[in-house]
Amino acid sequence: MFEDWSNTLPPDPMRAYRAKKDAARRTVQSKYSILGFISSGTYGRVYKAKARGDPEDGLLYAIKKFKPDKEGEVVTYTGISQSAIREIALNREINHENVVALREVMLEDKSIYMVFDYAEHDFLQVIHHHSQTLRCNIQMAVLKSLIFQLLNGVLYLHTCHILHRDLKPANILITANGVVKIADLGLARLTYEPLQPLFAGDKVVVTIWYRAPELLMGAKHYNKAVDIWAVGCVLAELASLRPIFKGEEAKLDNKKNVPFQKDQLLKIFEILGTPEVSEWPGLKNMPEYQNMKRLDRFKDRLFDWCQQKLKSRDGYDFLRKLFSYDPDKRLTAREALDQKWFQEEPRPTRNAFISMKGQQLPPQRRITQDDASTTALPNAAPQVTQPNSGKAASAASFASVGIGGFAAPSGNVGSAAYGGTAAYGGMGMSRLGVGSGNGGESTSNRTAGGSSKKKARLG
């Protein structure tokens, strides 16, 4: 009854085009050799890699493989996660010395792979190295350099109208040559004329320990100041080697209502004192104001905290202004970079590790080499769990690349990045006293670890 049109229709030009593109597309494994597994995050797994054909001491990369959707054991393709889209879209547009560089994005087997420049360390690892191995504080010159460079990266993002919304030690990387690289833009958002409001009722941003008081108080509007609060928390954590506001996160109820984060607010109030409407006029309009008023009251003791941990009046002034309860009074990234604390000795250096010697230097990032032959499924069960890490992992999905025999070169990434050609991104870095030298070498590998901190992503 029906005529067969298939012979009369012109061939689909897109099909031919796609076939040609598919044939030409290089696979991840044909282009990169996987040296080991680094970490498993919320959205995927991160591997250390080297470009095939590059010399032994060539550049290193971190390849982030987004998890494909799975129904049982069957990998389905239901689309690309919002987090991946944001991370890719934003990363493609930005370029700054203190933000990790995305080199390319590859699509293979229903998974997305993002190829980043590799960074040997991160803030969490430096904190663990000092608290567990060296058992001493981070030198002030190192701490100041890390925070200065972090703020420099934050200034760049904010100037590009990007809120990071997940600044925390595990997401702030450092190259072997002591250059800070902000990573993980999975929660980041453009704030310039957004199509969607930033606030979405049931969505939470920023890992709880780093979450600004306006977010904890249920603010409907928030801005760049949430990143600056997180920088304050990171500075305090570097200074004391433990999170300053280590609260317990209240869970979403089964109606997905965002609960009152009582414990986290109390942890903040215990150090900064209970906020007053006189210092934060917007406080009384916050959705959680009535709940907050029922909490025990606390006195401000940040000065005492800083006397033990920062030992500097300018350091105290700085932290106080980063921890301003009123987001409108909190320092901007630019104002923060101009603070006196950075002009006081020791001054920040471009190589944050320049004053560290030998064993003081943090060890290389730990990678694992699973024998993946027994775990050939892309999302096989976690194989390795690191102490102090909320992350567990397997190198399973790269089973076929034949991992092994990896000898980690020392300092190669940093020295390449410091070849003198790296554009020093403007954005205030010119203020730094530029140091030289390399990040040095260390023998043991150790994972940067993930965070045990909880977060709900999106918004």
Ligand X SMILES: Nc1ncnc2c1ncn2[C@@H]1O[C@H](COP(=O)(O)OP(=O)(O)OP(=O)(O)O)[C@@H](O)[C@H]1O
The DSSP annotation for 27-89 comes to: PHHHHEEEEEEEEE-SSEEEEEEEETTS-TTS-EEEEEEEPPEEETTEEE-----HHHHHHHH
* Residue 44 contact partner, candidates Mg ion, ligand X, none, CB within 5 to 8 A by sort of partner: ligand X
Q: With left for phi above 0 and alpha for psi between -120 and 50, is residue 107 left, alpha or beta?
A: beta
Could you count the other beta carbons within 10 Å of the beta carbon of residue 281?
A: 11
Q: Judged by CB under 5 A, does residue 447 bind Mg ion?
A: no
Contact between residue 158 and residue 399 where contact means Cβ atoms under 8 Å apart: no
Give the footprint of Mg ion on residues 113-132 (CB under 5 A).
Answer: none
DSSP conformation class of 402: -
Stretch of residues binding Mg ion (CB under 5 A), selected from 11-19, 35-43, 174-182, 336-344:
35-43
Q: Judged by CB under 6 A, does residue 184 bind ligand X?
A: yes
Longest dimension (CA), the chain: 90
Q: Judged by CB under 6 A, does residue 116 bind ligand X?
A: yes
Given 99, 154, 173, 198, the residue binding ligand X (CB under 6 A): 173
Q: Judged by CB under 6 A, does residue 43 bind ligand X?
A: yes
CA–chain centroid gap for 357, Å, is 26
Could you count the other beta carbons within 10 Å of the beta carbon of residue 62?
A: 22
What is the pairing mode between strands 445-446 and 364-365? parallel
Q: Which is nearer to ligand X, 44 or 440 (CB)?
A: 44
Given 111, 171, 389, 412, the residue binding Mg ion (CB under 5 A): 171
Q: Which is nearer to ligand X, 42 or 355 (CB)?
A: 42
Stretch of residues binding ligand X (CB under 6 A), selected from 183-191, 195-203, 264-272, 328-336:
183-191
The angle formed by the CA atoms of residues 359, 365 and 370, to the nearest 5 degrees, is: 130
- Shortest gap between Cβ of 168 and Mg ion (angstroms)? 8
- Shortest gap between Cβ of 159 and ligand X (angstroms)? 22
In the residue annotation, 304 being an active-site residue is answered as no
Q: Judged by CB under 6 A, does residue 64 bind ligand X?
A: yes
Q: Judged by CB under 6 A, does residue 38 bind ligand X?
A: yes
Given 36, 178, 186, 439, the residue binding ligand X (CB under 6 A): 186
Q: Which is nearer to ligand X, 63 or 319 (CB)?
A: 63
* Residue 62 contact partner, candidates Mg ion, ligand X, none, CB within 5 to 8 A by sort of partner: ligand X
Q: Judged by CB under 6 A, does residue 448 bind ligand X?
A: yes
Stretch of residues binding Mg ion (CB under 5 A), selected from 9-17, 34-42, 360-368, 416-424:
34-42
Question: What distance in Å separates the CA atoms of residue 342 and residue 127, rounded to the nearest whole number?
Answer: 21
Q: Judged by CB under 6 A, does residue 119 bind ligand X?
A: yes
Name the residue with tokens 């959680």: 288
Q: Judged by CB under 5 A, does residue 389 bind Mg ion?
A: no
Helix (H) or strand (E) holding 105, with range, is strand 102-108
Catalytic residue among 12, 57, 117, 166: 166
In one-letter notation, the amino acid at residue 38 is I
Q: Which is nearer to ligand X, 275 or 449 (CB)?
A: 449
Given 118, 123, 209, 341, the residue binding ligand X (CB under 6 A): 118
Given 100, 154, 157, 235, the residue binding ligand X (CB under 6 A): 100
- Quote helix, strand, coil % in the chain, to nearest 5: 35, 15, 50
DSSP conformation class of 458: -
Contact between residue 33 and residue 42 where contact means Cβ atoms under 8 Å apart: no
* Residue 225 contact partner, candidates ligand X, Mg ion, none, CB within 5 to 8 A by sort of partner: none
**Bond into 348 cis (ω within 30):** no
Active site residues: 166
Residues at the site binding ligand X, with contacts judged by CB under 6 A: 38-39, 41-44, 46, 62, 64, 100, 116-119, 122, 170-171, 173, 183-184, 186, 448, 450
Residues at the site binding Mg ion, with contacts judged by CB under 5 A: 41, 171, 184
